[in-house]
Amino acid sequence: MRVAVLGSVNLDLVARVAHLPRPGETVGEATLARHPGGKGANQALAARRLGAEVQLLAAVGADGAADEALALLRADGVALDWLQVAQATPTGIALIAVDAAGENQIVVAPGANATLALPEPAAFAGCDALIGVLEAPVPTVAAAVRAFPGFVALNLAPALPVSADVVARADLIIVNETELAAQGQALLDRAGLTALTLGAAGAELWQGGTRIADCTPPHVPVVDTVGAGDTFVAAITVALVAGLVPAAALRFACAASALAVTREGAQPSLPWRAEVDALVARTDW
Ligand code: RIB
């Protein structure tokens, strides 16, 4: 299976704090870490670790942050042949605070991500699936969705307006509760599949206004939820394109994202196929 991911690359600057700051509050005694991130890059690496060949279509700056942000993609063999390098715009940076319970707040300075142009058709050649995420410019994602002939998964994150024809074209849309509220409940009435993620409560799959599957994830120790949603997006796409029925694909994605929350960082936390298969096979959840 070959997957194209059109999305963002960020360097995540992650402060672990006792509690997340309220407006106007300064929280001290944080520890700081730097991790590769960005929703597109995270989804690309997750799909790769789950067994797909992956082409990442994204933009970075001509700077050291790009080298840090791309390190794990390179190490795990995500193809970067069509990476766009903006000469005058820095690589995207995400400022992330993670509290003791693993909850997070994220502020993104998109930098080069905002310059991403629609790649040539050759960039999508041979790909069975396209994953698009809205940290790339919405017009670029929309143009790719309209042009792509194969399976289209669209992650409407962050919550931004998207044309109705693009929503209708997607075979699979993935949203969390905030993103669903922004798009409207009618999203669940689409002819295509819509996956709704519910955090620790799991996820649901909807089609034509009917909830066709749901999944309660296994109980796991939560260390850091950053990247769990991206893991879910990649996993359910890989599973559906591989031919799993919707309920099985949802269980696979719930298992993958449950593993991701047990480890720190976005990309360092992304699970490998064997771990996910082992968790899916367990009968105690
Ligand atoms: O979904 C998690 C990602 O959101 C982080 O890696 C951060 O870069 C932001 O884009």
What pLDDT score was predicted for residue 275?
98
Is it the case that residue 3 has pLDDT exceeding 90?
yes
Helix (H) or strand (E) holding 94: strand 92-98
Q: How many domains does the chain have?
A: 1
* pLDDT greater than 90 at residue 64: yes
Mean pLDDT over residues 57-71, rounded?
98
Ligand 1 in reach of 12 Cβ (< 6 A): yes
Q: What is the pLDDT of residue 61?
A: 98
Query: Looking at the whole model, is its pTM more than 0.95?
Result: yes
Say which of 99, 165, 230, 284 is annotated catalytic: 230
Per the structure, the complete domain to which residue 261 belongs is given by: 2-21+30-281
Question: In this structure, which residue's CA is closest to atom 10 in ligand 1?
Answer: 38
Mean pLDDT of 74-92: 98
Task: Answer whether residue 240 shows pLDDT above 90.
Answer: yes
Instruction: Look at residue 35 in the predicted model and tell me its pLDDT.
Output: 97
**Which residues, listed in sequence order, are joined to residue 36 by a DSSP beta bridge?**
11
What was the pLDDT predicted at 44? 99
pLDDT digits (tens, 9 = 90+) for 118-157: 999 999 999 999 999 999 999 999 999 999 999 999 999 9
In this predicted model, what pLDDT tens digit does every residue of 150-207 receive, in sequence order? 999 999 999 999 999 999 999 999 999 999 999 999 999 999 999 999 999 999 999 9
Residue to mutate (ligand 1; options 42, 95, 107; most atoms within 8 A of CB): 42
User: 266 C-alpha to center of ligand 1: Å?
Assistant: 7
What pLDDT does 102 receive? 87
Nearest-atom number in ligand 1 for the CA of 229 is: 1
How many CB atoms neighbour CB 153 within 10 A?
Answer: 29
Q: Residue 99 catalytic?
A: no
CATH number at residue 48: 3.40.1190.20
Tell me if 108 CB under 6 Å of ligand 1. yes
> Is the C-beta atom of 144 inside 6 A of ligand 1?
no
